[in-house]
Amino acid sequence: MHSTICTIGFAGKTAEEFFRLLQGARVKKVIDIRENRTGQLSGFAKYPDIVFFLEHVAGIAYAYAPVLAPTPEIRKAYRKAKNWSAYQSSFLQLMRDRGIPEQLERSQFEGTVALLCSEPGPEQCHRRLVAELLAEHWLKQSHMVDIRHLLLEKPTSRLRKRKRSSAGHDGTLNK
């Protein structure tokens, strides 16, 4: 088996940027690993809308795996203490307690899949921990696994772009 596990967060991305990243990586399935998939701020990432958009905009399948999400208690403790090391330890213990990755069907991760959550980057996000956990487990079983974090190359500020394009030669905004 060969898998490419991509990770992506929707925060800080427009719908266009989000779907272009997935399409550019040739993702065949998005696996949503958020506990709460209905209360997110980006409308395109809310369930059930995301299923529609993935299928009709990008031709990508959708699966939901809340077993790969942190508990509310782990998230609350992190928000309070801002201690990534403690969060990581708690989350990895939760995965062991849930029997992850042994309890997962490896076939669900064949080809190119993307783990979805909200954080803009993977550095302090459970999607990175899940991807690394799965890759480590399957590499021990002689399966090829690549991890790719889907990020915007250079986040742009549309506001700054608009101001620059409407600025006069002296830098003042034209009305």
Question: How is residue 160 written in tokens?
Answer: 């700054």
pLDDT one-digit tens code per residue, 53-78? 999 999 999 999 999 999 999 999 99
Distance from C-alpha of 48 to C-alpha of 60, rounded to nearest angstrom: 14
- The CB density around residue 20, as the number of other CB atoms within 10 Å, is 15
Any domain includes 173? no
Any domain includes 172? no
Any domain includes 50? yes
Any domain includes 108? yes
What's this model's pTM, rounded to 2 decimal places? 0.86
Strand ranges (E), the chain: 2-9, 29-32, 61-64, 111-117, 144-149
Number of domains into which the chain is organized: 1
Any domain includes 69? yes
Q: What was the pLDDT predicted at 50? A: 97
Any domain includes 171? no
Any domain includes 175? no
Burial class from Cβ neighbours inside 10 Å (0-12, 13-18, 19+) for residue 72 reads exposed
Q: Which domain holds residue 64?
A: 2-165
Per-residue confidence at 22, pLDDT binned at 50, 70, 90? very high
For residue 132, is pLDDT > 90?
A: yes
